[in-house]
Amino acid sequence: MRGAERGFDEAYRGMGFDITDITDITDVFKELPYASEFPVDAMPSACRALIREATASIECPSEFVGVPMLVVLGAAIGNSRTIKLKEGWEEGAAIYAAIIADPGEKKTPALKEATKPVTKKQAELRETYREKEDEFKRELREYEVDKKDAAKAGEPAPPPPEAPTMERTVVEDTTVEALAAVMDGTPRGVLALRDELAAWVKSMDQYKAGGKGADRQFWLSAWSNGYVSVDRKSRGEPLILSRPFVGVFGSIQPAILPELGGGR
């Protein structure tokens, strides 16, 4: 077992992770109480059935399916509903959640089951977009002909056709600037899936000079549906989102968890 642990440590260090030896604090972990079971009965009836069937089939803990499903449900609600706690205080359904488990504990198949509805919807939206894109290209060709005819006749050119935008339900590996553009075109909100949370955290601000930027603040503001402004290199004006919405789910291995602290 020790040899296997050393092998994992060497592999993680090879990927740039700083593995912290936690053998001296195992007594602290032994004193921690066991986590309660995931409250399957609190979920909607269809979700309860899926969680039970999936966990039985995959042979994984119920939270491996239930936790990402909660994030998916929150993303499905998106900006369409909020809870008004009191005057001037509203909360949305955005959830940031993670599963912490060792490799080989069937996190990936459980995640696939929990996110099937949102990925299926994304595939449908992609097909719809392609159909609209074909129509746009046809209209664009007609527009070019009409514009030339108008110029010959000394008349003003007709308005150009509007390019379609693909609606999104889910994003994966994306920058803050790209995500802001997606949310601008999908005001209801999206789901962000991060297979490795440690890599996501380490990537924050990596495109900024000196590694300093506003990525972390963006994600904090997005979680609370707070106003964000993102500067874009491609355009002069910033992209402003008055009420961004994104739910985040990912996984991380216990040995890599200390990396999220950034040395703090």
- Position 19 in a domain: no
- The total number of structural domains that make up the chain: 1
| Tens digits of residue pLDDT in 94-109 | 999 999 888 889 999 9
- CATH code of 206's domain: 3.40.50
pLDDT of residue 209: 54
Residue 27 pLDDT > 60, yes or no?
A: no
154 part of a folded domain = no
Tell me what the mean pLDDT of segment 25-46 comes to.
74
State the pLDDT at residue 61.
93
Kindly state whether residue 23 falls inside one of the protein's structural domains: no
pLDDT digits (tens, 9 = 90+) for 76-98: 999 999 999 999 888 999 999 99
Average pLDDT over every residue of 58-67: 95
Q: What is the residue-averaged pLDDT of the chain?
A: 84
Name the pLDDT band for 238 (thresholds 50, 70, 90).
Answer: confident
Q: Examine residue 149 and state whether it is found in any structural domain, yes or no.
A: no
Residue 7 confidence (pLDDT) above 60: no
More confident residue, 198 or 81: 81
Structural domain boundaries enclosing 246: 28-131+160-260
In the chain, % of residues over pLDDT 90: 55
Over residues 1-23, the mean pLDDT reads: 49
Per-residue confidence (pLDDT) for residue 23, from 0 to 100:
47
- pLDDT band of residue 124 (cuts 50, 70, 90) is very high
Whether 12 maps to a domain, the answer reads no
User: Looking at the predicted structure, is the pLDDT value of residue 31 above 90?
Assistant: no
13 part of a folded domain: no
In a domain, 77, yes or no: yes
Give 23 or 252, the one with higher predicted confidence. Answer: 252
| Residue 155 forms part of a structural domain | no
- Confidence class for position 255, pLDDT limits 50, 70, 90: confident
Q: Specify the range with the lowest mean pLDDT, choosing from 62-66, 206-210, 221-225, 256-260.
A: 206-210
Render the chain in DSSP notation, one character per residue. Answer: -HHHHHHHHHHHHHTT--PPP-GGGHHHHHHSPPPPPP-GGGS-HHHHHHHHHHHHHHT--THHHHHHHHHHHHHHHGGG--EEEETTEEE----EEEEE--TTSSHHHHHHHHHHHHHHHHHHHHHHHHHHHHHHHHHHHHHHHHHHHHHHTT-PPPPPPPPP----SEE-S--HHHHHHHHHH-TT-EEEEES-HHHHHHHTTTTSGGG--SHHHHHHHHHTT--EEE--SSSSSPEEESS--EEEEEEE-GGGGGGGGTT-
Q: What's the pLDDT band for 67 if we cut at 50, 70, 90?
A: very high
Region 206-213: what's the mean pLDDT?
Answer: 56
